[in-house]
Structure formats: structure tokens, C-alpha cells
Amino acid sequence: MTNKRSALVLIDLQKESNFGLDDMDSIIENTKKIIPAFREADIPVIYTRQINRVDGAGLSKGEPLNEDGTPYFYNAASDQIEIFDEIQPLDSDIVIDKYRWSAFYETSLDLMLKSLNVEHLYIAGVVTDGCLMTSVFDAYFRDYQINLIHDMCGASNEGAHQAAMLTMTNWVYNMKIFSTDELMKKLNGEAHQYFQADQVDQMQFTADTMQAKFNEITNPTSSTTV
């Protein structure tokens, strides 16, 4: 794999994000496995962290507060805002603190990516239907080609996770969807599989077909290439 023009972006893999998300253990396990492969390939690793100031400056509208007026979630004074121990950033990594769901909103992420000549974004994290999805759309608007690692993403509920994955597939053109294992193969220069839609808004679904459509994008078989 050429490591040129790529970066790995990990959205909000913070201790506090483990508020009952599905599959958090395997998300951490997969992330722990893939990070060394990116480092080996000399591809920058970037972490984001959701932060709310103790004094409430910069809070999103309607953000829940404690009785003393401090933010209920992602309080900057809590050690729960730190990245999970198993996947701690190195000093040389880039860590972007953010105050809104999207990792691009009033942060230096885009200027960092541009200075690193990044075209291809490998991205994952939580929650699929919130910070991850809004970051993916914002990356797409800025002309990055997106590569989603689906089993390193998670939500509090199966429906939101599946629907967000389908929605991104439909409206983020040129997006590729990898599993951790298949991406490991790619990073190792081996044959691998990923899903990419053939056409715009391809993954239309109803409640009845959502699971099957989701399976299509996460278990590519005939529709993928090596």
C-alpha cells in the first residue's frame, strides 16, 4: 500500500464514550490492532476528543448540565475525556479537541490534513450516527476520499448504527467500507475486500430490508474487488 496522502482519524475513542455503546470492547480491540499497521506504514494517526469546558463556555445549545451548572458530559476536568488506555496516542500523534459533533467544526483538523497532503481518510469511531457521521460528511465536503472502518464504529443502538452506515454509503460518493481485518490485509499489501457503491443512493431500505442491506456493505462478496 502506498502510504502517501493518507491519514487515520479516530473519532472520540474516549473513556466516557463507553456509555453503553454496542461492541465497544471489540471496537477498542480492533483499533488497537490497526494502529500499529498504520504507524508501520508511516501514515499519520489523528485522534479527536469531545470536550466541554467546566465553566460551560462554548457548550452546544441544550447540552445537559449538572445541578452546579457544570456540563454533564465530557467535562474537561474529568479523566473520562482521555483516550482509552489500550489505544493511547503517542506524543507524536495529533490530538484534536472539539466542541461540536463534527471534528472539522472550528478545529485545526483540516489544516493539519492539508499540510500532510492527505487525500484519503481512514476514519472510524463513535458514535456512528453522531460525531462519526457528521465528521465524515464534513470530510467529504472538503474533498477527502473517505474509507470507513465499520467494525471500529459503534452506536448506542443497532438501528442508528446500521442506518448511519447506509446513509453515508448513499451520499458520500467514492466512499469505501472496510472491516478491520480486510484493511489489515490492504496495509500489508495483500489481496483484500471492501464495499463501494456502484451508484448514487444505492442502498435504499425499509425497516424490513435494513439488516440485509447493512449486511451487504459489511460483508462484501461478489460486489467487491481485490
Nearer to a second copy, 32 or 142 (CB): 142
Residue ranges binding a second copy (CB under 8 A): 44, 53, 55-64, 73, 92, 94, 98-102, 105-112, 114-116, 129-130, 133-134, 137, 140-145, 156-160, 162-164, 166-167, 170-171, 173-174, 200-201, 204-211
Give 65 or 184: the residue with its C-beta nearer to a second copy.
65
Nearest one of 54, 139, 45, 137 to 96, comparing CA atoms: 45
Rounded CA-CA distance 195/216 in Å is 8
In whole angstroms, the minimum distance from the beta carbon of 190 to a second copy comes to 26
Residue 36 Cα distances to 54, 121, 196, angstroms: 34, 17, 25
Determine the Cα–Cα distance for residues 93 and 96; give it in Å rounded to an integer: 10
Pairing relationship of beta strands 6-11 and 120-126 according to DSSP bridges = parallel
Residue nearer to a second copy on the CB measure, 38 or 140: 140
Q: Cβ closer to a second copy: 89 or 159?
A: 159
Cα–Cα distance for residue pair 17/73, rounded to 1 Å: 9
